Amino acid sequence: MKKAISVCITCVTALAMSGPPAMALDLEGLVDAGFGLFRAATVSDEEINALCAASIQKSDKENSVVEKNSAYTARLAKLTKDLKIDRGLRINIKTYHAPGVVNAFAFPDGSVRLYSGLFDVMNDSEVLYILGHEIGHVALGHTKSATRAIYTTSALRKAAAASGNNMAAAISRHNLTDIVEKLTHSQYSQANEFEADMYAVKVVRENNIDPRYCVTALRKLEALYGNQGSVFASHPTPGARAEALEKELGIKVGDAAQQGVISLR
């Protein structure tokens, strides 16, 4: 089921084991030798939520504020007014002021961050595709899996275990810079990317936007950055993704553009 949501819009610019020590050392050795999946499975949702809250707060503080009366604020407000997404999703959207940076990321708590460079090169329908793609990573569990994997191997995880799994205490003593950097540049599999792309198609359709804008957004990224590696560290090969969507949708952007259906400004 779907609902129209009022999203929060603010524009800004960017296991502790009991027992003798030997047992703990042996377990650590097993984990380092290849039992990371077991360790990741022990990470609770509470830990993930606390990490997300602290990390997004740090990220927001380290980026500059865009004026509330800016064009970016107005465009984002227009895009998200009565936005229809899956019921139960809580999305918090902010825009980082970063001229020339065409990027976006999401955290599993529903925090989505867009960079102002997106708005400079894409029209509103294309930005909605990017937003839908990031929401897709949240809704499909991709961001939670990535965060769990990053946290599992972090120094913060060890610090939390050392403090009796006191996450708040560990966070207060930890810089978080490395974790925030990894979270904002999470690497997703090609399967995850296609799933998020198809989720974005669903979002734009449900909000009465032509899904061909999903393809034009990717083609713009391809034109800007090629296919050797996208500006989106977490979103590789935009050309291949565009072709996959064209096949799925049964369209060609070139044909649509020639017909005047879609502008590739």
Instruction: Report, as residue numbers or ranges, the catalytic residues.
Output: 134
Instruction: List the 92-96 sheet strands across, edge first.
Output: 8-11, 92-96, 111-115, 104-106
The answer to whether 150 and 183 are in contact (CB under 8 A) is yes
| The token pair that represents 169 in the structure block | 């205490």
* Interacting residues of 208 by C-beta distance below 8 A, sequence separation 6+: none
Q: What is the dihedral sign for C-alpha 118, 119, 123, 125?
A: positive
| The token pair that represents 126 in the structure block | 């294309």
Bridge-partner residues for 85, per DSSP? 3
